[in-house]
Amino acid sequence: VSTQSTGYRAWSAIVYSLIPNIEQLSAHLNAFCNICEADEVVLFERSTFLVISHASMRQHQDIHRFEKISNIIKQFKLSCSKLQTQFGTMEIRNSQFTGFIHELTHNTFVMVIISDPSIHSAATFININNARSHFDKLVANEE
């Protein structure tokens, strides 16, 4: 395990410990994952892209996937800032899954991974947009 990986996990653990109602947030994230029929939903802190919480409906073999995703998105955000534009949403599709990364609250981004090809992107974006006010209220109660 690299020092960088250990550092990422340590900082994620610190962020996790600073969220007062993390159990409630995690429960709502699980419900959101079920509503979206997603394989996995991950909530990231906006500026650092550290994991706040996640919900998984299936096992994943790559235990470092959150760190890898975080590094990719941070590099992409850096590229966007060099072009004087802001990162807001991303959709990645291949033969095995569709991944969505979208702003959820003022301080968070959500990643939704769906392997069912019959679920349309528009439905997932509607679910994310509809969940926004719910998670805004949930996060506001934590502050």
Q: How confident is the model at residue 100 (pLDDT cuts 50, 70, 90)?
A: very high
Q: What is the pLDDT of residue 2?
A: 54
Element (H, E) at 141: none
Size of the chain, expressed as the number of residues it contains? 143
Q: What is the pLDDT of residue 120?
A: 94
Q: What is the pLDDT of residue 11?
A: 74
Q: Are 55 and 40 in contact (CB under 8 A)?
A: yes
pLDDT above 90 coverage of the chain, percent = 45
Q: How confident is the model at residue 50 (pLDDT cuts 50, 70, 90)?
A: confident
Number of C-beta neighbours around residue 60 at 10 A: 12
Global confidence as pTM: 0.85
Find, among 72, 114, 77, the residue nearest to 93 by Cα.
Answer: 114
